[in-house]
Structure 1
Amino acid sequence: MKQRIITGVVGGSAFLGLIILGDLPFTLLMIALAAIAMWELIKMKRIQPFSVKGVVAFIFMFLLLVPENLVSMQWIHLQRLELFLLLIIVLLALTVVTKNSFSFDEAGFVILASVYVGFGFHYFMYARFLENGLEVIFFILTIVWSTDSGAYFAGRSFGKHKLWPEISPKKTIEGAVGGTVLAVLIGSIFIIFIPVFSSWIVTMMFMLIVSITGQLGDLVESAFKRHYAVKDSGQVLPGHGGILDRFDSLIFVMPIIYLLGFI
């Protein structure tokens, strides 16, 4: 527990400090976190990061991750997503050329993993560099962290009905509801001092969506770990596991709130 607290305080302070600082230091932090998360994910699949398969996975992920203003694709006269689709075709052709030593299953994993990690951290960067990006990011973090805390304490105090035992045996329906309730309460206090949206209805919808999809993102990562029979995604954060263990909710939330037009 002591190690967990020390890691949380030191790591959390550094993380929040770089968010506030923004610009290139924040961008480099996101790139580093995404790279570690991708490393953890392909290790679950037992793909060696420095193998051809591993390098291909990182190329796909960085293609979706890195902001356009940092690395432009105009020199090849293709939009970023067009290039991504082209590489998917090449990847599928590679399964034939290698006579399935690079299997269709591995190709599908590389594509899905790169979208999961790449887009997740990409839209975290996107949100930070909005005009009110700092307020938006801290609002999201407040909701996600309040949800985690509320779910933990409500689950321990009142949890009787399992939420999804095949995926995460310890999570309960009472915990999930408690997490969302606390997120809405803390989020409501937050916006009294730092209003993020002009409409109360939009704000309430935002809080509910972030809290619920954040919990879904946690279950998605739990499903990954259960499928690949690992306890933690990594050990980079002593007492907390890996980067995916800490950012699973956030990287699931960010693309969703972008697609829904909140950012």
Structure 2
Amino acid sequence: MKQRIITAVIAIAVFLPFVLIGKLPLVLFTFLLVGVGIFEMYRMRKISFFSVPGLLSLLAVWMIVLPNHYLANLNMTKIEIGLIAVLLYLTYMVFSKNRFTFDDVAFSILAVIYIGTGFHFFIEIRETHLAYLIYSLFIIWATDSGAYFIGKAIGKRKLWPEISPNKTVEGFLGGILCALVVGVLFSVFDYIQWSIGFAFTTVILSIFGQIGDLTESALKRYYDVKDSGSLLPGHGGILDRFDSLIFVWPLLYFIFERFLDLI
């Protein structure tokens, strides 16, 4: 537990300054995060990251992460870039004589979309709604901590033992409760204006954050690994730490872009 707390404090101390600075430093730092994330995905799949598909995935995920205005001079959309990447994956499948299989192609494409989309909206939210980005970080950290400590203290009913044996229904509900408490605190300090709509949004994000966590647990169980990586002692890898946020950021962007006036 001590190691877990120390790692968390150091990681937050490194991460938050980039969030506050934003712009190009944040984009470059995000490139590093998604690069490690792709490395971890390939490691779970037991495919070398330092290979043609690995490096192609790195380039593809960087292109997805980039804010749209960075691509204005290329005169290409991200969908077009994605289609080119698919053709290159399939071409490599042929040249590798099926050592890199069609299943590996599908895995690579989905890994790029899964990681890239989440971090793309991380940057997009930072450019338009810094307060909401900070809010998302704290409610997910509160959800994770609440689910862990409350589940450990009073958890009895298993939430989804086939996916994550240690998670409980009590921990799941405790995570939501802690997220609501943090949301109220944001309102008290005038970072956001609290309302029924915002309370509902907090609950939705907390739930989907936990689904993101379960998704990563499902991946690790399928590939029979304990953690996605070992970069963060006591926490695992980058995907272990950002699994909830990868789910939450696209949803948060959609809610605030489409329904902010209703909240």
TM-score, structure 2 as length reference? 0.91
More displaced 10-residue stretch of structure 1: 217-226 or 52-61 = 52-61
1:221 aligns with 216
2:244 aligns with 249
Q: 8 Å contact 1:135–1:194 — kept in the other structure?
A: no
Secondary structure of the corresponding residue to residue 167 of structure 2: strand
- Give the Cα separation in 1 of the matches to 2:22 and 2:85: 31
1:146 is aligned to 2:142: yes
1:186 is aligned to 2:186: no
Q: 8 Å contact 2:164–2:214 — kept in the other structure?
A: yes
Q: Deviations over 1:74-112 (max 9, x none)?
A: 43x421222212432443354345442221100000010
Could you list the structure 1 runs, at least 4 aligned residues long, displaced by more than 3 angstroms after superposition.
92-99, 259-263
Residue 234 of structure 2, aligned match among 232, 239, 259: 239
Structure 1: stretches of 5+ with no match in the other structure: none
Q: 8 Å contact 2:40–2:228 — kept in the other structure?
A: yes
Distance 1:26-1:59 versus aligned 2 partners, 3 A rule:
closer
More displaced 10-residue stretch of structure 1: 21-30 or 210-219 = 21-30
Q: What percent of counterpart residues are identical?
A: 44
Residue 152 of structure 2, aligned match among 152, 156, 180: 156
1:85 aligns with 83
Q: Counterpart amino acid of 1:134?
A: L
- Give the Cα separation in 2 of the matches to 1:175 and 1:89: 44
2:16 aligns with 16
Distance 1:181-1:2 versus aligned 2 partners, 3 A rule:
closer
How many residues in Structure 1 have an aligned counterpart in Structure 2? Answer: 258
- Give the Cα separation in 2 of the matches to 1:135 and 1:78: 31
Q: Counterpart amino acid of 2:213?
A: D
1:123 aligns with 121
Structure 2: stretches of 5+ with no match in the other structure: 259-263
- Give the Cα separation in 1 of the matches to 2:257 and 2:137: 15
Give the superposition deviation at 1:219: 0.4
Residue 105 of structure 2, aligned match among 90, 104, 107: 107
Q: 8 Å contact 2:143–2:176 — kept in the other structure?
A: yes
TM-score, structure 1 as length reference? 0.91
- Give the Cα separation in 2 of the matches to 1:22 and 1:57: 25
